[in-house]
Amino acid sequence: MATASAPLQLATASRPLSVGVGGGGGGGLHVGGARGGGAPPARRQRGLAVRSVASDRGVQGSVSPEEEISSVLNSIDSSTIASNIKHHAEFTPVFSPEHFSPLKAYHATAKSVLDTLIMNWNATYDYYDRTNVKQAYYLSMEFLQGRALTNAVGNLELTGQYAEALKQLGHSLEDVATQEPDAALGNGGLGRLASCFLDSLATLNYPAWGYGLRYKHGLFKQIITKDGQEEVAENWLEMGNPWEIVRSDVSYPVKFYGKVVEGTDGRMHWIGGENIKVVAHDVPIPGYRTKTTNNLRLWSTTVPSQDFDLEAFNAGDHASAYEAHLNAEKICHVLYPGDESPEGKVLRLKQQYTLCSASLQDIIARFERRAGDSLSWEDFPSKVAVQMNDTHPTLCIPELMRILIDVKGLSWNEAWSITERTVAYTNHTVLPEALEKWSLDIMQKLLPRHVEIIEKIDGELMNIIISKYGTADTSLLKKKIKEMRILDNIDLPDSIAKLFVKPKEKKESPAKLKDKLLVKSLEPSAVVEEKTVSRVEINKDSEEVEVDSEEVVEAENEDSEDELDPFVKSDPKLPRVVRMANLCVVGGHSVNGVAEIHSEIVKEDVFNSFYEMWPAKFQNKTNGVTPRRWIRFCNPELSTIISKWIGSDDWVLNTDKLAELKKFADDEDLQSEWRAAKKANKMKVVSLIREKTGYIVSPDAMFDVQVKRIHEYKRQLLNILGIVYRYKKMKEMSAKDRIKSFVPRVCIFGGKAFATYIQAKRIVKFITDVAATVNHDPEIGDLLKVVFVPDYNVSVAEALIPASELSQHISTAGMEASGTSNMKFAMNGCILIGTLDGANVEIREEVGDENFFLFGAEAHEIAGLRKERAQGKFVPDPRFEEVKRYVRSGVFGTYNYDDLMGSLEGNEGYGRADYFLVGKDFPSYIECQEKVDKAYRDQKLWTRMSILNTASSSKFNSDRTIHEYAKDIWDIKPVILP
């Protein structure tokens, strides 16, 4: 891969550091002069800078760009870096000068690295501006970055130099790096994937930016107590973030509420309401062995200072004076604020719209600036690709339409054509609750203009459906409209409603009705019902019947009109909603799933009607993870072995080369080195577990790991019930039989349960209760330990994954879109136990059936199994009933687990009937675990399996995924900086 070279040199007063990335309506922010204010000249010459040596390439001969960069960077003297770090410690006044603490050393080191990144950063975007290349913009509510320091120095290939420099200053790079808190900008796989993609985009030299929100507190910090999970505010920004540059000059207005009026210019104007201001915070994303440094732009929210009500403040009404600021700032306080309350729902919708509006305004400003005098909106899709990471950024579609129509003056058809060709959607779930549905009433109040636009898109969609399916088969048409509409439980427009009529039975004319009633009234035995009396009066004198005139009118109307199908009207008992996923499919030019099985489910089930209409829109893009962070940097022991046996470290950029390990899989020397690397990583986790939980575990036991968001479909409950069954069987045996029957295991869990997800929090409580009992049982000792690692994040994953030997990916088949942790585990030589779900299917295909522990029902069986359960035909395995009784016996404490166990029982009902099929898969699961024990006893076999997992993991490199997105969806090309 051709890359630009980027040597380092000392910055002097005549070579000022350049800070910032061009954005918004202006160019890059370039700050003249060196840091240090009035410092003497010697102090002002300490910044590390980067220059291009592209002009030297003509005399470099056959030296590759990668080798050139590596050679130059590795020649940088560690003493120069140490001097630069000292400069920042002294002249970047974040901390008091008394002593050079590890935390101060971290900030100074980060600023030193940032000096290097800034030069590449500016050069990257100056070049993109000059060449006006097509650029991709990745919009995501989550970016789970992990620590930036080790990643940045690793990508710059300066790890050794920085380690030596810090050693000269009395610190170790490892200790300094641990001072960095994980950026609390995500929760799970969605954010981790987005961050892997940014790494690959920069490494592969693709012009791309990420856009997100700068959450002050992230999701939450998880604390594990005797009561289970507790949540406290995340404090990652408390000591500042040295990696970000606040771009006070890049800000945009964002509006909520108000009303829509038509102006004299014929355009719709959104006026009044609540106005906030977004401000950009830029974070550099360096590529590996390349000068390309892309940008992650995060938005914070505030209001202009004039919105502070000084008069109210001076009058003593301090809360009112600051109300506008608080309303604005709380938008970026917390990731996924609880939405049980109406206020929570409004806040979440504000978050999503803020991301979309701010990012699109920024993208459009950049497009206009780059186009200059040759601006043509028709060119927009050829210069801009917007990728919506899940449904959270769906409002990009009506927002882009609004800007193009109301602000830029384009027609509806022009704006729709541009929007559809610009925007694409990645679906990450088949879970109905995750396919977002927003209250139309809330959206109407908060975003009135967008609702108008969505209503029109919905109407246009129904016209397309009618044109495709015709009106002859109204049952089919009704089915398609019901499935595909963007607006759900909303009255059909009159023009479409008239297609759905039921002919009424002909009623008798008023004259005939009158004659019949007269005859009836003359019969002695005639009994007039009460309801008839209210409508018919009998004149006893004339013995004639007077028919109510209103009834005559109604009869005439009924006789002349057919009856509308109830389908055309909304049900007042049900909520009126906007189906965001449907809007994504309609408004974008591409819809992709994230694993082969998931993409098939998307086409055959979730969006089947859309697939029938637009099959070319649907694609698969199997997820991937970056091999830089997830092998090279987090597992240096294994990386060294891989490079040694392959003969180079080319695999870091070309993971296909990992396959070369296969020919050495049975080599005893490689196996010995492989086991030693695993043992070294396990020792690190022993220390981590002791530090975070107080438990002492044996590094000689198998490390069995399940780390992911706590959710019923991910089935941590199946795992812990399997452990309980294992524990019970151990207790029933003699010590000698226990040792003979079971391989020692340390069963490690990690992950957060959403604060309002009661059942998930019960599972966390259950795991910790089992741990408290098992880990203090002297009869069991090191034969079984259970550990829940609190506050699981990227940094914890970077320690656990290299040390893991068995990893559990045991979701109910058909419910996990892909997963990415399974890829990281396989890359690091961990063997998976799992169902045929998500990317497990493809991992098993790559590594071989014999190197994957498979159990459980398959995706195509799930619906039938649930139906069987509802019919009362499910017969639970005796071992499953046994383990539930054991839990209820109180052996794990006094907590009442009836609700948790009850969710696995019954044949129907919310929170019952074992929707996720734990009971169905339990026998298969524990039998598969017996196979795991048998395989682990043969360490030669196990090590071979481990090597083959790493050797077969090439497909799951995010570089491959990004190449596919770039070619098939975004139509962007790599750009090599000069």
CA angle 694/695/701 to nearest 5° reads 150
Backbone φ and ψ of 903, nearest 5°: -65, -15
Name the helix (H) or strand (E) containing 531.
Answer: helix 530-533
Residues 492-511 have pLDDT tens digits of: 999 999 998 876 665 556 55
Give the whole-angstrom CA distance, residue 884 versus residue 902. 9
pLDDT of residue 135: 98
pLDDT of 162 > 60? The answer is yes
pLDDT band at 534, cuts 50/70/90? very low
DSSP state of 404: I
Which of 336, 361, 388 is the last residue in one of the domains? Answer: 336
Q: Which sign does the torsion angle of CA 931, 934, 935, 941 carry?
A: negative
In the predicted structure, residue 246 carries a pLDDT above the cut 60: yes
Residue 666 has pLDDT above 60, yes or no: yes
Residue 540 per-residue DSSP state: T
Q: Phi/psi class of residue 792: alpha, beta or left (left: φ > 0; alpha: ψ in -120 to 50)?
A: beta
pLDDT tens-digit profile of 773-829?
999 999 999 999 999 999 999 999 999 999 999 999 999 999 999 999 999 999 999
473 pLDDT above the threshold of 50: yes
| Residue 75 pLDDT greater than 80, yes or no | no
The per-residue DSSP string of 890-944 comes to TTT-S---HHHHHTTSSSSSTT-TTTT-HHHHHHHHHHHHHHHHHHHHSHHHHHH
Q: Which residue has the higher pLDDT, 667 or 66?
A: 667
Residues 868-897 pLDDT 10s: 999 999 999 999 999 999 999 999 999 999
The pLDDT-based confidence of 707 (bands split at 50, 70, 90) is very high
How far is C-alpha 732 from the geometric centre of its chain's CA atoms?
Answer: 44
Q: Which residue has the higher pLDDT, 218 or 74?
A: 218
List the CATH number of the domain containing 893.
3.40.50.2000
Q: Residue 597: is its pLDDT beyond 90?
A: yes
pLDDT of residue 59: 36
Position 14 pLDDT exceeds 50: no
Give yes or no for residue 236 having a pLDDT over 70: yes
Domain final residue pick, 318, 336, 354: 336
Taking the C-alpha atoms of residue 541 and residue 519, their distance in angstroms, rounded to an integer, is 15
Q: Is the dihedral of CA 302, 303, 305, 310 positive or negative?
A: negative
In a domain, 926, yes or no: yes
Question: Using CA atoms, how far apart are residues 532 and 534, in angstroms rounded to an integer?
Answer: 5
Residue 40's pLDDT is 36
Question: What is the distance between the terminal CA atoms of the chain, rounded to a whole angstrom?
Answer: 15
On whether residue 889 sits in a domain, the answer given is yes
As a whole number, mean pLDDT of residues 735-751 equals 96
- The mean pLDDT value for 720-747 works out to 97
State the pLDDT at residue 608. Answer: 96
Q: Which residues contact 325 (CB under 8 A, 6 or more apart)?
A: 302, 303, 307, 308
**Considering 293, 311, 336, which residue would you say is the last residue of a domain?**
336
- Mean pLDDT for the stretch of residues 611-628: 98
- Token look-up 């290349």 returns 133
**Is residue 646 in a domain?**
yes
Q: Is the pLDDT of residue 334 over 70?
A: yes
CA distance 109 to 77: 15
In this predicted structure, the answer to whether residue 20 has a pLDDT above a threshold of 50 is no
Q: What does DSSP assign to residue 277?
A: E
Backbone dihedral angles phi then psi of residue 4, each to the nearest 5 degrees = -80, 150
**Total domains, the chain:** 2
871 vs 907: CA distance, rounded Å: 7
Q: What's the mean pLDDT in 197-211?
A: 98
Residue position matching structure tokens 């060449």: 131
Longest dimension (CA), the chain: 123
In a domain? residue 764: yes
Out of 306-310, 478-482, 783-787, 915-919, least confident range: 306-310
What is the pLDDT averaged over residues 150-154?
A: 97
Mean pLDDT (whole number) for 191-201: 98
pLDDT of residue 26: 40
Please give the pLDDT value at position 10. Answer: 32
Q: Which helix (H) or strand (E) holds 296?
A: strand 293-302
Neighbouring residues of 806: CB distance < 8 A, sequence distance ≥ 6: 702, 703, 704, 705, 830, 831, 832, 833, 853, 932, 936
- Whether residue 560 is contained in a domain is answered as no
560, pLDDT greater than 70: no
pLDDT at residue 561, rounded to an integer: 56
Q: For the residues 956-971, what does the mean pLDDT come to?
A: 98
How far apart are alpha carbons 307 and 188 in whole angstroms? 37
554 has pLDDT over 80: no
* Residue 87: inside a domain: yes
Domain contains 950: yes
Res 507: pLDDT: 56
List, in sequence order, every residue forming a beta bridge with 261; answer none if it has no partner: 269
| pLDDT value of position 309 | 83
Residue 453 has pLDDT above 50, yes or no: yes
Tokens of 931: 């196979």
For the cut 50, the answer to whether the pLDDT of residue 353 exceeds it is yes
Residue 550 confidence (pLDDT): 47
**What local confidence, expressed as pLDDT, does residue 434 receive?**
76
Task: Report, as residue numbers or ranges, the catalytic residues.
Answer: 428, 708-709, 714, 820, 824
Domain annotation covers residue 418 = no
Where is pLDDT greater, at 552 or 443? 443
Q: Binning pLDDT at 50, 70 and 90, where does residue 313 land? A: confident
| Residue range of the domain that includes 677 | 631-956
pLDDT tens string 77-133: 899 999 999 999 988 777 777 788 999 999 999 999 999 999 999 999 999 999 999
